[in-house]
Amino acid sequence: MTLSTAGPTRPRSVTDAFLAGLVARVPGSAGTTWNLTEVYTGDTLVELPQSAPADVERAFATARAAQRKWAATPLKRRLAVFKRAHRIFVGNARAVADLIQVESGKNRRMAIEETCDPAMVMSHYLKRAARLLRPVRRGGPVPLLTSSTEIRQPKGVVGIIAPWNFPFATGISDAIPALMAGNAVVLKPDNKTALSPLYGVRMLEEAGLPEGLFQVVCGEGPDVGPTLIDHADYVMFTGSTATGKVIGERAGRNLVGCCLELGGKNPMIVLDDADPAEAAQGAVFGAFGNTGQICMHIERIYLPESRYDEFKKAFVAKAEALDVRAAYDFGPEMGSLVSVDHMRRVKSHVDDAVAKGATVLCGGKPRPDLGPAFFEPTILEGVTKDMLCGVTETFGPVVALHRYRTVDEAVALANDTDYGLNASVWSRDLDAAHAVAARIESGNVNINDSLATAFAAKGTPSGGVKSSGVGARHGDQGLLKYTDVQNLAVLKKPVMGPRPGQDYGKYVESMLSGLKLMRRFRIR
Ligand code: NAD
């Protein structure tokens, strides 16, 4: 069905021939397709092939063959591919943003920012990978006569399952350290947003990534997911907590490792000395950036009684002034939700809250006049834990304001959730903000920012705690997780155990005094 509404003219780069070329690499032996649509209009963009389990198996076989050669390629040559890729990705940022926008409906400012993510990840690991992957001599149990070396081996073929909210970033950025470490990748993007990751793979191949090494399979999660997990040597999943539990369970049964980057219900605490205008501006991006579809975005704001009205006034004024519309230029400050289904889900959270007594301070409604999946930036107060949006992730442009009397109460309210992905603390006093941050149960805490500083800091691992995930991306562990450690131990002389004919008691005595000496001279 086509829900066509008059929308902006589609970007010139997004031609039928270009899209057909992109999806041609997706295997679909059963001949079934998925109608991939332009979010702003509901018009068909392309029929996306759907991969049958046999297609997924073949993708793994091809990737596995390519991986053996890739792992044997010197690291310097592997990294040279990403040096070239960095230039190609930056050079094509506008074309990538076109694809991200048509398939996700986000505004152009967010789309162009998303295009930067793989380039930033490449830059970071181009600096770190050689150091992280080189063998490290650790020393053996007996000094001089033994050695042990930590050697990093690629896992093999990494299965990546990505969501629709940052399809290019989650599809490509998480693959980069895996590939640098010598792995192959089989990626399953979300059907709605397969175009930008497909273009990312094409650009990597243009940079010299061997063909076959990076496979893309498409389909609904429950159709493609099980075969993908069953053939993967490691699973990198980004998506909802509910799906993450299914993925983690299956990976666990197969005894393969996985990294699960899941949902959040992220709090922002404004301390009483914070600048209300700055905090309100930060909250606008935190709550409405990417139309509220950022895993780290803010859904709960805790304000001191004394500053509540001041902040509320500034925040509501800013939200009401936002330029929300469909356009392929840099004008709009907020775009569409990803789909009509998702818009209905967001609406159901707001309707449920209102029915149970919450007040809408601004927004609260779909905007079919702007496009099929538009929803207004919405600020609520009076949200309680018996409401859907009081406990579960809404994942839309909906945020609730709450009052607190003491900082202890604010911290307790912020932590009163199953999630632990991101939090934001605002204060002019950095020591006070640090003290609050230290008490928040969250994998990321941003001081005087809502989310971007932590996510853009590629040198520090970023992941969730509690129900927000297992493991992390970025930082050293963002690459090392795609490797197995081989402990290569060498015994140069048979000195372990008693010498032939030695009395065992004497041997034990010398062994124990050896232990004391090693401790005294700090020998491992
Ligand atoms: P989702 O869990 O519905 O889907 C994510 C991916 O998993 C999609 O590709 C989907 O097709 C696939 N999938 C679904 N069921 C599956 C199954 N049974 N087996 C295998 N694969 C399956 O999530 P979504 O709605 O696409 O994305 C939004 C969610 O992602 C939000 O909860 C958001 O917070 C989260 N997210 C988290 C991060 C992070 O880094 N923590 C980043 C982005 C998004």
Residues taking part in catalysis:
261
Contacts of 412 (CB under 8 A, 6+ apart): none
Pocket test for ligand 1, best of 56, 172, 190 (most atoms within 8 A of CB): 190
Equal CATH topology for 13-132+156-262+476-482 and 266-460: no
> Tokens 């493991």 map to which residue?
471
Residue 390, ligand 1, Cβ within 6 A: no
Here the tokens at position 72 are 């044997």
**Least confident segment among 63-72, 211-220, 261-270, 499-508:** 499-508
Q: Is the pLDDT of residue 300 over 60?
A: yes
> Ligand 1 atom closest to Cα of 462?
40
Q: Is the pLDDT of residue 124 over 90?
A: yes
Contacts of 48 (CB under 8 A, 6+ apart): 23, 26, 33, 34, 35, 36, 191, 194, 218
Tens digit of pLDDT for each residue in 234-255?
A: 999 999 999 999 999 999 999 9
Nearest CA to ligand 1 atom 20: 225
Strand order in the sheet with 146-154: 136-137, 146-154, 483-491
Strand order in the sheet with 257-261: 214-216, 184-188, 157-161, 234-238, 257-261, 469-470
pLDDT (average), residues 358-384? 98
Here the tokens at position 491 are 């015994």
For residue 161, report the distance from its CA to the centre of ligand 1, in Å. Answer: 8
Q: Is the pLDDT of residue 5 over 80?
A: no
Residue 221, ligand 1, Cβ within 6 A: yes
pLDDT the model gives residue 2:
39
For residue 248, report the distance from its CA to the centre of ligand 1, in Å. Answer: 13
CATH assignment, 13-132+156-262+476-482 = 3.40.605.10
pLDDT (average), residues 54-82? 98
Residue 395, ligand 1, Cβ within 6 A: yes
DSSP, collapsed to helix, strand or coil, labels residue 335 as: coil
pLDDT the model gives residue 4:
46
For residue 242, report the distance from its CA to the centre of ligand 1, in Å. Answer: 9
Nearest CA to ligand 1 atom 26: 163
Please state, in angstroms and rounded to a whole number, the distance separating the CA atoms of residues 41 and 24: 24
Q: Is the pLDDT of residue 483 over 90?
A: yes
Q: Which of 308, 305, 300, 292 is nearest to 413 (CA)?
A: 300
Q: Residue 383, Cα to own-chain centre: how many angstroms?
A: 28
> Ligand 1 atom closest to Cα of 261?
41
Please state, in angstroms and rounded to a whole number, the distance separating the CA atoms of residues 183 and 86: 19
Q: Which of 113, 428, 443 is nearest to 289 (CA)?
A: 113
Q: What is the pTM of this model?
A: 0.96
Pocket test for ligand 1, best of 164, 173, 238 (most atoms within 8 A of CB): 238
Q: Is 7 exposed, middle or buried (0-12, 13-18, 19+ CB in 10 A)?
A: buried
Tens digit of pLDDT for each residue in 264-283?
A: 999 999 999 999 999 999 99
Query: How many Cα atoms within 13 Å fall on the side-chain side of residue 158?
Result: 31
Q: Are 334 and 291 in contact (CB under 8 A)?
A: yes
Which one of 3.40.309.10, 3.30.9.10, 3.30.565.10, 3.40.50.720 gives the CATH number of domain 266-460?
A: 3.40.309.10
Q: Which of 414, 432, 413, 416 is nearest to 424 (CA)?
A: 414
For residue 275, report the distance from its CA to the centre of ligand 1, in Å. Answer: 36
pLDDT (average), residues 385-411? 98
Report domain extents, the chain.
13-132+156-262+476-482, 266-460, 494-524
